[in-house]
Structure 1
Amino acid sequence: MVRTYVDGHNHANSGRARMLKQDVIGRLFRDEAKRRPTLRWTDIKDEIYMRYIISVSKWICQKARRIAFNLVMETQRQQFAKLWDYEYELQRSNEGTTTEIVTIPQANGKQQFDKFYICFEPLRRTWKSCCRPIIGLDGAFLKWEMKGEILAAVGRDADNQIYPIAWTIVRVEDTDSWTWCVEKLKKDLLLELGDGLTIMSDKQKGLVNAVGALLPKAEHRHCARHIFANWRKTHGDYVHEGFFWAIAYSGTEGDYMYNIVALRKYDPLACEDLLKTDPKTWCRSFFSYHSSCEDVCNNLYESFNRTIKDARKLPVLNMLEEVRRIAMKRNSKLAAKTQKCKGRFHPKVLLILEANRRSSKFSSFLKSGEHKYEVLEGSGSYCVNLLRRECACNQ
């Protein structure tokens, strides 16, 4: 019971609280540290002041940040210890699912996690029966204090959209990790030596060696965006960029030779540097037709990597479950959309066919000479598009 209450004060607010120690702050920001691995002590200091109008010293915030990340690391270790239970549950609830955990024995008798591969039977079966014979391979860093990467294999479905096939958690991205991952993928998808298969990736040395050793007959394309990023370090002005993409998107060998000659006339040294990378691996004119995909960039994996961007911030089990849910919801959504499709072809395919028909009609119109327009050599796609619009309006 409060018998006497005096509301008069003769001192100002100090902005400090003795009970707000580093242990308390660390527990308050544990979840924030889990979501934001780049959390700084200044962020903690500013957030406390905004929430409670209390000022905390720099040293307490630094200690609190260390405590918060230690708590997160402890959660990570606990989840890594439960990986075998998670693997058993996946195999129990998803018949035919392929999983494998690899560990490294330590001198103290304990086992250190190394790799974890997952490939669900429905994804494997659907890719073999319905998808295009092209696979994009790449890795992305996990946003933890503990180092690690996720390696994923992503395909193209009949509608030319991404289709996740399998993913692997590894400690480091090297030749051994990629060799093991590609070998597991080769066995699950029955790829044999890679006949009739196309692999799309960057020029990561371990990945190139693994694909060359295990899938020697597969067509291995390299992402043109990565090649351009290396080439532009020396030849990086706007004109060089236009020449590069004109070469990369050349539809025939004649177009390729025309664009190469144009680049050689403009900058012979840049042309020689570009040809040091085999054009057959990144120029469209040399691609085979069996993959039914004309991509020159590894957009397959980049799109998938963006969808799991937030999942990569989570602890390992939460991350794996989130990736599984993303793939499951995506396939369910596309299946529902397919049920509504009427006709033999998908609407997106019909749009592409219609665009090609109009382009062919426009080319015939220009060749006929029955117009008052003059298309200048090297006028660029912008002028040609304007001309297309004006011709369509006149017709």
Structure 2
Amino acid sequence: MRQGFLAGCRPFIGLDVCHLKGPWGGQILSAVGKDANEQMFSIAYAVVEAELKDSWTWFLTTLLNDIGSVESHGWTFISDTQKGLVEIFEDILPTADHRFCVRHMYNNFKAEFKGKILKDTMWLAAYATTSIEFQNKMEEMEKLDKNAYAYLKKINPTLWSRSGFSRRSKCNLLVNNLSETFNGFILLGRDKSIITLLETIRRLLMGRFQRQTSEIDKYEGPDCPKIQEKLEKIKVVACDCHVEWSGGEEYEVQRNGKQYVVNLAQKCCRCRSWDLTGIPCIHAVASIFYQKESVEKFVHPYYHTDAFRRSYREIIHPMQSIKQWPRVDMDPVQPPPVRRPPGRPKKSRRRDADEPRRAANPFKLVRKHGSLKCGKCGQFGHNTRTCKGPIKEKRKATPRGTTTSTSLGVGQRIGKQPVTRGRG
């Protein structure tokens, strides 16, 4: 895994932690990269007793000893602002690029500042690739809510907006989906004991490496499938651009009232999308068409199929069963004390109320629960079990076939006699 990451992946690492669901507790710290096909690539993982500053310090120190220092490789990290991670980056990784997961950052933001307009404005500021666009969105935020503007102003844009990201990682991710994909990938073993857990993860990764190698051998093309699919979509949109050639390698591209400068020799565009990802943007593709060149020629080598093959060239070797492991002259390691939490063990992560659910059937709408309504007192925010209010007086049910209305219609009678209607 270490050799494959260094051979074919970008210098981008996602850090995350997930809870073990067995009776012994504990957590898994993970470092996950991104391969040439924009998929999850596991780098390292470790089981620790809890998410502590000491645990993260040991994990990151050991990781950098294996893959190299920040100064030599220029690593970029993204995390969910876990406990102790911010202080660790300031202490032992001051030169590393660090990003926050914007989705987790918004969860903290919405606790104080609610509303869809504020949410959309914050995300547009995060999506902004230039400093001018970012400043415009922040000015809109200031007009909407000055307190929300002051809250975001305290956070450095290099941590959460594409306008402040460095171009060396060739990755513009705003959310830590890579690590969450790994957490779901190992879900099968997260309720097992320590040895069974680690063996389950090893077998899952061993099978994944083999499948990825087999799939890429069937594919023909210079760039990986997902990258080629992105390029085809960009090519269609690039036909709407108007290109003016300045004479050298620079082009002036206009689209939707905006104008950008593209330099094909330096492989950059003033919109910074090409700079951040290494994949030609719409303006760059329009300039490449004007020059009658192949778009695939300008894609960064990080996305080539050769880089994908280098990542999965090494294999994770199979192992004998535990009964055939060599014996050592040491006392056996005892398991930690059982700490069974109350309630039924949960297999899936608890999602927020506004977080989209995934259904087994993609064409079936998933039910979203709103506010609880008590059936005892009729108030919102709690249920009958926790209700402390007075019992709501219920209306008496009217027997079927009777009427209590003072205004009678045609064919109705007074009293408890059933209403009769003639046929025809």
What TM-score range do you get, normalising by the shorter chain? 0.5 to 0.7
Q: Which amino acid aligns with 2:174?
A: V
| 1:86-115 CA-partner distances (Å, limit 9, x unpaired) | xxxxxxxxxxxxxxxxxxxxxxxxxxxxxx
- 1:173 aligned to which of 45, 51, 62: 51
Is 1:313–2:191 an aligned residue pair? yes
- Give the corresponding residue for 2:124: 246
More helix by share: 1
- Give the corresponding residue for 1:329: 207
Q: Which amino acid aligns with 1:321?
A: E
- 1:339 aligned to which of 194, 214, 217: 217
Deviation at 1:335, TM superposition (A): 0.8
- Give the corresponding residue for 1:381: none
Residues 372-387 of structure 1 mapped to structure 2, 5 A cutoff: none
Task: Check 1:363–1:272 CA distance in 2 against 1; reply closer, same or farther (3 A cut).
Answer: farther
Residues 1-395 of structure 1 mapped to structure 2, 5 A cutoff: 123-193=1-71, 195-364=73-242, 367=256
Aligned residues of 2:76 and 2:96 also touching (Cα < 8 A):
yes
Deviation at 1:147, TM superposition (A): 2.3
Deviation at 1:168, TM superposition (A): 0.5
Task: Check 1:194–1:229 CA distance in 2 against 1; reply closer, same or farther (3 A cut).
Answer: farther
Q: TM-score, normalised by structure 1?
A: 0.60
Aligned residues of 1:194 and 1:215 also touching (Cα < 8 A):
no
Deviation at 1:295, TM superposition (A): 0.3
Pairwise CA RMSD of aligned residues?
1.9
- Give the corresponding residue for 1:57: none
- Identify the structure with bigger relative contact order (alpha carbons < 8 Å, sequence gap 6+): 2
Distance, in Å, in 2 between the alignment partners of 1:237 and 1:140 is: 30
Distance, in Å, in 2 between the alignment partners of 1:167 and 1:209 is: 21
Distance, in Å, in 2 between the alignment partners of 1:345 and 1:323 is: 29
Aligned residues of 1:193 and 1:215 also touching (Cα < 8 A):
no
Aligned length: 247
Distance, in Å, in 2 between the alignment partners of 1:366 and 1:285 is: 20
Deviation at 1:140, TM superposition (A): 0.6
Deviation at 1:202, TM superposition (A): 1.5
Deviation at 1:184, TM superposition (A): 0.5
- Give SS of 1:205's match: coil
- Give the corresponding residue for 2:381: none
- Give the corresponding residue for 1:70: none
| 1:187-229 CA-partner distances (Å, limit 9, x unpaired) | 0101254652101112123222233333221101111111100
Distance, in Å, in 2 between the alignment partners of 1:254 and 1:356 is: 24
- Give SS of 2:46's match: strand
Q: Which amino acid aligns with 2:139?
A: V
Distance, in Å, in 2 between the alignment partners of 1:237 and 1:194 is: 44
Deviation at 1:366, TM superposition (A): 5.9
| 305-314 or 128-137, larger mean C-alpha shift | 305-314
Deviation at 1:265, TM superposition (A): 1.3
- Give SS of 1:217's match: coil
- Give the corresponding residue for 2:299: none
Distance, in Å, in 2 between the alignment partners of 1:359 and 1:208 is: 40
- Give SS of 1:310's match: helix
Task: Check 1:338–1:352 CA distance in 2 against 1; reply closer, same or farther (3 A cut).
Answer: same
Q: TM-score, normalised by structure 2?
A: 0.56
Task: Check 1:131–1:356 CA distance in 2 against 1; reply closer, same or farther (3 A cut).
Answer: same
- Give SS of 2:134's match: helix
Aligned residues of 1:308 and 1:323 also touching (Cα < 8 A):
yes
Deviation at 1:177, TM superposition (A): 0.4
Distance, in Å, in 2 between the alignment partners of 1:242 and 1:206 is: 29
Task: Check 1:367–1:263 CA distance in 2 against 1; reply closer, same or farther (3 A cut).
Answer: closer
Aligned residues of 2:36 and 2:224 also touching (Cα < 8 A):
no
| 1:205-260 CA-partner distances (Å, limit 9, x unpaired) | 32222333332211011111111000000112111111111111112111111111
Percent of counterpart pairs with the same letter? 35
Distance, in Å, in 1 between the alignment partners of 2:237 and 2:96 is: 33
Distance, in Å, in 2 between the alignment partners of 1:240 and 1:367 is: 25
Unaligned runs of 5+ in 2: 243-253, 258-424
| 1:14-67 CA-partner distances (Å, limit 9, x unpaired) | xxxxxxxxxxxxxxxxxxxxxxxxxxxxxxxxxxxxxxxxxxxxxxxxxxxxxx
- Give SS of 2:142's match: helix
Distance, in Å, in 2 between the alignment partners of 1:156 and 1:324 is: 19
